[in-house]
Amino acid sequence: MGYYRGTKVSCTKPELFASGSTFNQEWSDFIVGVRNGVTWYHCRKEYLNNAIVELSKQHPDVTFTGVTWTDDDYENAIEFTSIIKNGEEDVVKMAPHYQIFFPVIEDEEYNSLCERFEKQINLYLNRIDLVNEGEDEESDFDILNDKEDEEGFKSYFTITWENDKHIFRATKRFTSMVAVDYQRKKPKNPDLPIEKN
């Protein structure tokens, strides 16, 4: 069974990845998108990343920066940040690759709220999950989620974001998985009498 690897890459000579470039044409089937000068690719195994190393050999004066992760490990996905120059790749950082799963709902307001909630989730993740850079290239993930204690208890956390119309709950499990639940609250009818207990 194969796996898919995601890659975000930028370089000091962006025209190498521009539409119409040789590299872009060769890998066009794997391009997910381009945002703020960063090209996102999604392909099987290591082939694309090897191709970027080869491209750097052809352009030794150019520095490439890439972030790579394996997509099919939802619970423990790790992303590796690399600097590639003259065919040499140096991993400079490791971090969890958070995968946030929202329910699919075709609603413009809901989708706009999802974008806002994702930013809120990332604020919590960056404060709660600690990544300690090691002396060597390895990083230590100081993450409490799902570590079993001597009595078999495991813990994990839920982030709630709500107002009088919507409620979102994001539950973070293991190293990288965040599952979101959503409910639209029933509107209060101002014409009904207030119930007294």
What's the 3-state SS for the chain? CCCEEEEEEEECCHHHCCCCCHHHHHCHHHEEEEECCEEEEEEECCHHHHHHHHHHHHCCCCEEEEEEEECCCCCCCEEEEEEEECCEEEEEEEEECCEEECCCCCCHHHHHHHHHHHHHHHHHHHHHCEEEECCCCCEEEECCCCCCCCCCCCCCEEEEEECCCEEEEEEEECCCEEEEEEEECCCCCCCCCCCCC
Alpha-carbon Rg for the chain in angstroms = 22
Note whether 40 and 7 are within 8 A (CB): yes
Q: Identify whether residues 143 and 61 lie together within a single domain.
A: no
Q: Identify whether residues 8 and 85 lie together within a single domain.
A: yes
Q: Identify whether residues 8 and 92 lie together within a single domain.
A: yes
**CB neighbours of residue 9 within 10 Å:** 22
Q: Which of 43, 63, 96 is the last residue before a domain boundary?
A: 96
Question: Region 114-142: what's the mean pLDDT?
Answer: 82
pLDDT beyond 70 at 135: no
- Residue of 157 and 44 predicted with greater confidence: 157
> What are the pLDDT digits (tens) for 41-57?
887 656 678 888 999 99
In a domain, 126, yes or no: yes
- Residue of 33 and 114 predicted with greater confidence: 114
**Per mean pLDDT, which range of 67-71, 141-145, 176-180 is the poorest?**
141-145
Q: What is the pLDDT of residue 194?
A: 45
Q: What is the pLDDT of residue 158?
A: 95
Q: Identify whether residues 115 and 45 lie together within a single domain.
A: no
Query: What is the total count of domains within the chain?
Result: 2
Q: Identify whether residues 10 and 83 lie together within a single domain.
A: yes
Q: What is the pLDDT of residue 92?
A: 87
Q: Which of 96, 111, 129 is the last residue before a domain boundary?
A: 96
Identify the domain containing residue 13 by its residue range. 4-96
In a domain, 195, yes or no: no
CATH number at residue 8: 3.30.70
Q: What is the pLDDT of residue 193?
A: 52
pLDDT beyond 60 at 5: yes
Residue 191 — pLDDT band, cuts 50, 70, 90?
low
**Amino acid symbol at 190:** P
Residue 136 — pLDDT band, cuts 50, 70, 90?
low
Global pTM value: 0.74
In a domain, 193, yes or no: no
Q: What is the pLDDT of residue 69?
A: 85
pLDDT beyond 50 at 196: no
In a domain, 19, yes or no: yes
Burial class (CB in 10 A: 0-12, 13-18, 19+), 97: buried
**Per mean pLDDT, which range of 39-48, 93-102, 178-187 is the poorest?**
39-48
Question: Region 151-176: what's the mean pLDDT?
Answer: 94
